[in-house]
Amino acid sequence: MTDALPEVRLYNSLTRSVERLRPLEPGRVSIYTCGSTVYRYAHIGNLRTYLFGDLLHRTLEYLGYEVRYVKNITDVGHMRDDTPDQDRMELAAETEGRSPSEIAQFYTDAWLTDERLLNILPADVMPRATEHVPQMLELTATLLDKGLAYEVDGTVYYDVSAFAGYGKLSGQRLEEMKPGHRVDVESDKRDPEDFALWKAAGEHRLMKWPSPWGDGFPGWHIECSAMSMHYLGDRFDVHTGGIDLKFPHHEDEIAQSEGALGHQVVSIWMHGEFLTLADAKMAKSAGNVIRVADLPSKGFEPLAFRYLALTAHYRSKLDFTERAMHAAASALRRLRRAVAEGASERTDADLSAAPLAGYRDRFVAAVSEDLGLPAALAVAHAVASDGDLTPPQRRVLLLDFDRVLGLSLDAPVGGEVELPEGAAALLARRAEAREARDFATSDALRDELAALGVEVRDTRDGQVTTVAGTRSG
Ligand SMILES: [Zn+2]
């Protein structure tokens, strides 16, 4: 049965090549993704990274693999460089006048809302770092036993020079890293590249746990080693994250996990490229972070962003611009229209019959080759415009592809924002004006929008537009 599963090839950052995925257990793939740090909103660029993990998840399930997917929640351990005693969770708590756990819950909920808006499937397990401190302590103790770590006044550091493989993921060489590449305020380390596994808690520290080395709290990197191995075992198939996590986070994770176990733990490391906020107008939002939940106030549905993310390979940079979002929204409408047209007739299309099978083979080939979503989208558009297919055949194929694309292609086309030319730009400017509490500009823009036939109402969730009798949020 499992022999019949299509071969999947993925780019492995560790070997720097596209290689065949060979699951440790045939037909089953275990994946760990570094999740959000929940002391602030996840910005839209972070969401591109989680979308990439979702595409891997969906692609493997579409191809018939069973997937075990773990994505963590970092709710402790992001240290501030200037005040090593306080982590960012505590700083946010202090700033916002709430407890660290309230802060963590608030931003976790916000992040998961953004994920839902983008049709990101939930992971099987979403472990919180604060609930896995015993596993981190155990791993830290093992590394001390093995001579890979040392303690100074209640803080335990990883001794990078003791792990021969250090740098193999990022290609960074220890000798090159040494002299003053990174500013470090921790002066009690033997080597500037050593990193904290466990930190002694200072007097004012709120989030702290007892340990054999006194009260303290875990470092950031140790949590992903501890939680990934706790849920996925001593060896697992794929580890994903944003390209910014490759060094030092993932390099340190390898040093910890492999140092403790003495063998390779992760088979394939995958990294998603950045979203570039080239368009200042699109990048701007309240709190300096643009969220997926902000998109409607800029005139876009969140799934238009998902579509945009599919147009670029995950290993390529992608520009987030108003123009690109318009193109994405309009292409998404094209696919939805094709699906809607097929709904009026009885659906008796058989996916295994030619020419449907031919299209499906092309789609499978595209997604199996290092998640080639741009090529897969091209197949979807070829289906949508193929006049030799019947409308129900087009519909059945597109809905099948949508199991990977995740674009809600069966969403009612009538329920969408069909904005006249130029209206989205005006709406974005108006959202900005409102954020800046510039109500004169906001009112002037409302009049300009009205002239285009777009009526705007302001709600708690942002601007709601009415166009030619169709309401949409
Ligand atoms: Zn991580």
pLDDT in tens, 96-116: 788 888 889 999 999 999 999
Round the average pLDDT of the chain to a whole number and report it.
89
Do 252 and 221 contact (CB within 8 A), yes or no?
yes
Q: Is the pLDDT of residue 414 over 60?
A: no
Q: Per-residue pLDDT for 39 more than 70? A: yes
Distance (angstroms) between ligand 1 centre and the Cα of 186 equals 22
Look at residue 218 and tell me whether its pLDDT is greater than 90. Answer: yes
Compute the distance from residue 35 Cα to the ligand 1 centre, in Å.
Answer: 7
pLDDT score at 471: 39
Percent of the chain with pLDDT over 70: 87
Q: Which residue has the higher pLDDT, 434 or 148?
A: 148
Q: Is beta strand 454-459 parallel, antiparallel or unpaired with respect to 149-152?
A: unpaired
- pLDDT-derived band of residue 212, with 50, 70 and 90 as boundaries? very high
pLDDT of residue 469: 43
CA distance 164 to 417: 56
**pLDDT for 3 beyond 70:** no
Report the pLDDT value the prediction gives residue 91, as an integer from 0 to 100. Answer: 75
Whether residue 1 has pLDDT greater than 70: no
What is the average per-residue pLDDT within 400-424? 81
Would the CATH topology of 2-272 be identical to that of 288-415? no
- CA dist., res. 52 & res. 270, Å (int): 10
Residue 47 has pLDDT above 60, yes or no: yes
Per-residue pLDDT tens for 124-139? 999 999 999 999 999 9
| pLDDT greater than 60 at residue 461 | no
276 Cα to the center of ligand 1, angstroms: 22
**Res. 418 pLDDT band, cuts 50 70 90:** low
Domain boundaries, the chain: 2-272, 288-415, 423-472
Q: What is the whole-number distance in angstroms between the Cα of residue 159 and the centre of ligand 1?
A: 20
More confident of the two residues 422 and 72: 72
Taking the centre of ligand 1 as the mean of its atom positions, its distance from the CA of residue 47, in whole angstroms, is 15
Average of per-residue pLDDT across 364-385: 98
pTM for the model: 0.85
Give distance in angstroms: CA of 224 to centre of ligand 1: 5
DSSP string, 87-147: BHHHHHHHHHTS-HHHHHHHHHHHHHHHHHHTTPPPPSB--BGGG-HHHHHHHHHHHHHTT
181 pLDDT band (50/70/90 cuts)? Answer: very low
Alpha carbons 227 and 247: distance in angstroms, whole number: 19
Identify the band that residue 449 occupies on the pLDDT scale cut at 50, 70 and 90.
Answer: confident
Q: What's the CA-to-centroid distance between 211 and ligand 1, angstroms?
A: 22
Cα of 114 from ligand 1 centre, angstroms? 20
> Looking at the predicted structure, is the pLDDT value of residue 179 above 60?
no
Between residues 299 and 431, which one has the greater pLDDT?
299
User: 325-334, 366-375, 387-396, 430-439 — which is least confidently predicted?
Assistant: 430-439
Q: Report the top-level CATH class of 2-272.
A: alpha beta
Q: Which CATH number fits domain 288-415: 1.10.287, 1.20.120, 1.10.10, 1.20.140?
A: 1.20.120
**Contact of 372 with 381, CB cutoff 8 Å:** no
pLDDT in tens, 243-282: 999 999 999 999 999 999 999 999 999 999 999 987 777 7
CA 263 vs. chain centroid, Å, equals 28
Kindly tell me if the per-residue pLDDT of 185 is higher than 90. no
